[in-house]
Amino acid sequence: MPRKPPKGYFVRGQFVAYGSAEDAELKRAAKWDAELSKTDLKKRSAYLQDLGERLLQLKGAALQRLALDEGLLQALAEARRIDDFEGRRRQLQYVGKLMRRLDDGQVAAVEAALQQQHQGSAQQVQQLHEAEAWRARLVADDAALEAWRTIEPEADWQRLRALIRQARKDAATPATDPCGQPPTRHGRAWRELLQHVRAALQARAAAPSPL
């Protein structure tokens, strides 16, 4: 017996089958048209376009956890590869079109993932600034080493003092750059001291609070 043709309808000369992704998108668009003004629809579309562009910043593991449609994931991957301005702009428009297919729950999940990543990045910047401030104190003032004991009571004090002394020497005697660049005041000890301080601060932050 011949197969029955799929049921559906035509939109702008294109056949749309009932139950297809295109059918679902058109129904959502119709719902928006019924509930929202044209201004609201434009704002919604612009917001989803921007949200899709921000998805490019989301790290791979977090992006995969969202379980987005494979077509959207491929469109995002293609947008990352395009260097041409106009080509990238068109690709991002396509990403925005695919973003309009997401339901409210998926949009909320994307928003939450981006917010979580932003908070994590802000926390890392704050930790770096705190480490830089401690390094400056340790190099500038011997009394700071005693205050550091509250942060790292079991530190390798011999190594830490050696790093501080060397960082002070580097600051007092600028090193000449082999490539002919202006001399720098900060050598290897300065960088290693920051790494040491930052690791100790991160360990303290990760340690469980005493009961």
Confidence of residue 74 (pLDDT cuts 50, 70, 90): very high
Confidence of residue 182 (pLDDT cuts 50, 70, 90): very low
pTM of the model: 0.47
* Partner residues linked to 15 by β-bridges: 10
Confidence of residue 174 (pLDDT cuts 50, 70, 90): low
Q: Which of 199, 145, 200 is nearest to 167 (CA)?
A: 145
Q: Quick one: CATH architecture of 122-206?
A: Orthogonal Bundle (1.10)
With contact defined as beta carbons under 8 Å apart, do 144 and 167 qualify?
no
Q: Going by C-beta distance under 8 Å and a sequence separation of 6 or more, which residues neighbour residue 17? A: 6, 7, 8, 23
**Euclidean distance between CA atoms 73 and 56, whole angstroms:** 10
Q: What is the DSSP code string of the chain?
A: -PPPPPPEEEETTEEEETTSHHHHHHHHHHHHHHHS-HHHHHHHHHHHHHHHHHGGGS-HHHHHHT---HHHHHHHHHHHH--SHHHHHHHHHHHHHHHTTS-HHHHHHHHHHHHHHHHHHHHHHHHHHHHHHHHHHHHH-THHHHHHTTT-TT--HHHHHHHHHHHHHHHHSPBPPTTSPPPBS--HHHHHHHHHHHHHHHHHHHSPPP-
With contact defined as beta carbons under 8 Å apart, do 100 and 25 qualify?
yes
Query: Residue 9 pLDDT more than 80?
Result: no
Tokens representing 16? 């749309």
Domain residue spans of the chain? 8-118, 122-206
Confidence of residue 138 (pLDDT cuts 50, 70, 90): very high
- pLDDT more than 90, % of the chain: 18
Query: Residue 127 pLDDT more than 50?
Result: yes
pLDDT one-digit tens code per residue, 110-123: 888 888 877 766 77
